[in-house]
Structure 1
Amino acid sequence: MAVEHPLPTSDAPSGPGDQSRIHNIGYRGYDGPRLGRAYARRSLYSQSLRGAYGLGRSAKSKVLPMLLFVVMCLPAGIMVAVAVATKADDLPVDYTRYAILMQAVISLYVASQAPQSVSRDLRFKTVPLYFSRPMETADYVRAKFAALASAMFLLTAAPLLVLYIGALLAKLDFADQTKGFAQGLVSVALLSLLFSGIGLVIAAVTPRRGFGIAAVIAVLTIAYGAVTTLQAIAFEQDTTDAIAWIGLFSPITLIEGVQSAFLGATSTFPGNVGPGDGQGAVYVLVSLGLIAGCYGLLMRRYRKVGL
């Protein structure tokens, strides 16, 4: 028959080498409010958005995103200063054209911040800890997607706001400038969603941040370089009908096609051959399909990671 041995207490004598004690450390059950999934999702969104600009992180983490933000806004400030000083009749660059000109900065930003948003969770295997709470896979994916898209929108919309304020200070036509500013905001909103989705899908494949950065840059730059090269060849061979269709295979030319078809932008494809209304509708459908596809791939990826 088994004999139970009582544990020593602070009052009971113990052997010469026995220093064990029982202490009441005051654990109590939590009886406060349960904030639930919505609060967890908002908290993750806020934390991820702040992290995209290095807020709440080390000073070194703030350098690159803040520098890229300044680089995005600086040309707009110079253009405004020139327009005001020379009393120009219009801005040097259309609102819808600005993000296309600054695509290298935008690509570098999404390449640096998409891995920062998701790769560390994969590398240190903290994703299952998120899902041990009321948060579900969809909550995590939506929060991360929305946070990076919001950060991208701030990056791309801020210089448009600088241009708009400068145009009003230069006393340019209010109606024309307001219309152009609104068209530019629609364009960069679509660009932010598309680039964020592509960047997050690529970054979610590997826990190595360096590999993620290189992969995002490679995909964006190689796709754009290949498309523009093929468009130039098609123009030289006088097959201009193919130019607009070729533009479907690069994220930046997708945005450019949507702008020229529906947002009043001038096409910069070779020979200024932009998509017509029918082709423009295809551009919109492909853009929205890519965004939805990126969301679906992220959901599939994190269902496996969260196990």
Structure 2
Amino acid sequence: MTGMSRPTNGAQIVDRGFQRYDGPRVGLLRSIWSVTWQSIRATLGLGRPARHKIFPVAAVVIAYLPAVVFVGVSILIGDVLDPNEVADYASYYGFITAAILLFAGLVAPEVLVGDRRNGMLAMYLSTPLHRGTYLAAKALAVGLTLALVTLGPPLLVLIGYTLDNAGPDGFGNWMVVLGRIFLSAVGVSAALTAVSMAASSITDRRAFASIGVVLLALASPAVASALVDGAELSPSWRLIDVFSMPFELVFRIYGEPGNFPEVSTANILLANAAWTIGGLLVVAVKYSRMVVAR
């Protein structure tokens, strides 16, 4: 305290001056994680009114409901029917594409567009974060949130089958399946994270970004099918199907032919890498040219 005026009518003015911050400095990684965690909270509606929780909760319920049913079937009639005949790990995503699409269209617009509209982007960039580390935090937030519907449900199936003695035989096989589940979740989340972030970097309206993601996910399979099945072009044209290729990669991770056996695994892997890298490049270019008033 550097000075104090005399009290007047019970009020006083205190001049504290400026002092250097001498508290703990947590570093850049902690700053990135702080932005990531706050973005996840905002997306899931944590600490926000109930209306912000409706769509996230609905997507999670849709994603986990089949897993609960399959585990229940394994427990109730496991001696009669092999659980893997009901649903194996590779085909599980076919039951929850709606939940994944809903999340992909919801998460990135909430994470990116909101900061540009409410001025938080300028505040973030006034901290030790720069545009690259800010986008890294946001990409991590989108990927981790998508993991709720890409990693959690098949992992629940594995645990449920294992507890019912219907899981993989032996510790080695169990770890192989676990590794495939993680690789599958990363493959699906990476491509959809990049594409949804690219759409969210182009517009300042959450609704437009969400609609763009959904339209791309619905239109690209139709276009690919028209070119291959209708126009009888090369099966390689199926690679433009941004929504089906991540799930096709899942089948290849499990060593299965998938829905498009005529397309090589190498090409499917390259297509997913192209969608992921391309989407992230769009985001990087848009944010590098973005004028942010501090």
The interval holding the TM-score normalised by the smaller chain is 0.7 to 0.9
Q: Identify the residue that residue 159 of structure 1 maps to in structure 2.
A: 153
Give the aligned CA root-mean-square deviation in angstroms: 2.4
Distance 1:84 1:123, change over 3 A: same
In 1: Cα distance, 2:278 partner to 2:117 partner: 24
Identity within the alignment, %: 22
Q: Cα distance 1:22–1:169, how it changes in 2: closer, same or farther (>3 A)?
A: closer
Using the TM superposition, give the Cα deviation of residue 45 of structure 1 relative to its aligned residue in structure 2, in angstroms: 1.0
Correspondent of 1:89 among 60, 71, 82? 82
Contact persistence 2:63–2:99 (CA under 8 A): yes
Say how many residue pairs are matched.
278
Shift of 1:100: 3.2
Indicate how the Cα distance of structure 1 residues 260 and 165 shifts in structure 2: closer, same or farther if over 3 A, else same.
Answer: closer
TM-score by length of 1: 0.82
Are the equivalent residues in 1 in contact too, given 2:224–2:241 (CA < 8 A)?
yes
Could you say which structure has the larger radius of gyration?
1
2: distance between equivalents of 1:42 and 1:173?
Answer: 35
- Offset of 1:49 from its aligned partner? 1.9
Cα offset, 1:69, TM superposition: 0.4
- Render the CA deviation track for 1:268-295: whole Å, top value 9, x for unaligned: 23xxx343xxx32122122123222222
- 1:58 to partner: Cα distance: 2.2
Deviation at 1:197, TM superposition (A): 0.9
Normalised by the length of structure 2, the TM-score is: 0.85
> Aligned letter for 1:285?
L
Sort the Cα spacing of 1:170 and 1:31 in 2 relative to 1 into closer, same or farther, 3 A.
Answer: closer
Q: How is 1:131-150 mapped onto 2 (pairs within 5 angstroms)?
A: 131-150=125-144
**Equivalent-residue separation in structure 2 for 1:160 and 1:168 (angstroms):** 12
Tell me which of 31, 52, 56 is aligned to 2:21: 31
**Higher mean C-alpha displacement, 110-119 vs 55-64:** 55-64
CA distance in 2 between counterparts of 1:274 and 1:66 reads 38
In structure 1, the gaps of 5 or more residues are: 1-8, 12-20
Rounded to whole Å, the distance in 1 between the matches of 2:16 and 2:259 is 70
Deviation at 1:164, TM superposition (A): 0.8
- Give the AA of the match of 2:75: V
SS at match of 2:267: helix
What is the aligned partner in structure 1 of residue 40 from structure 2? Answer: 49
Residue deviations 1:218-258 (CA, integer Å, cap 9, x gap): 11111122223444436xx6x7xx33x12211123222332
1:108 maps to 2:102? yes
Provide the residue aligned with 1:121 in structure 2: 115
Partner of 1:4: none
1:226 matched to 2:223? The reply is yes
Q: Closer, same or farther in 2 for the Cα pair 1:220/1:27, shift >3 Å?
A: farther
Residue 53 of structure 2 aligns with which residue? Answer: 62
